[in-house]
Amino acid sequence: MLHYRLFKEINDLFASGRDDQARRLLMEIQSRSIALHDEVNLLQTRLKTLEEAMRLSCNLFRRNGLYWLKAQDINLGPFCPHCYDHEGGLIRLERSKGALHCPYCHTVITRPSPLEDEGYEATGEATPRARIIPFAN
């Protein structure tokens, strides 16, 4: 936070001929302004991220256990329910051999009906992506 009393102090120092002290205070103000600028940039980035997440959640809907994203006149998706529910990630499911497959968490979702985007049912938990290797003693 900038301390506006410093500006008056700097002015008084220059007026009384103590230029070195005034310059030191100016450098301190410069340093504080740079830190403030960095903080503002960080907060703007966080705000933008939150606004995008908010916009996304307003257009995201769940149908038959799968996530879809409303985009103008079409629905994008389907997206993996496991990835979105656990990590907030939108991972598009891939179709293969009458089932949907998540390329990230490897959840397999089968569909009992031939309808294009309805009637999908999740079967089983996702297979783990990585093995946990205990530390050696």
Interface contacts to Zn ion, rule CB under 5 A: 80, 82-83, 91, 102, 104-105, 107
Quote helix, strand, coil % in the chain, to nearest 5: 45, 20, 35
Residue 128 to residue 27: CA distance in whole angstroms: 54
**Helical (H) or strand (E) element with 9:** helix 5-15
CA 126 remoteness from chain centre: 23
**Residues 106/126, Cβ–Cβ less than 8 Å:** yes
Minimum distance between the CB of residue 77 and Zn ion, rounded to whole angstroms? 12
Nearer to Zn ion, 13 or 79 (CB): 79
Nearer to Zn ion, 13 or 102 (CB): 102
Nearer to Zn ion, 23 or 106 (CB): 106
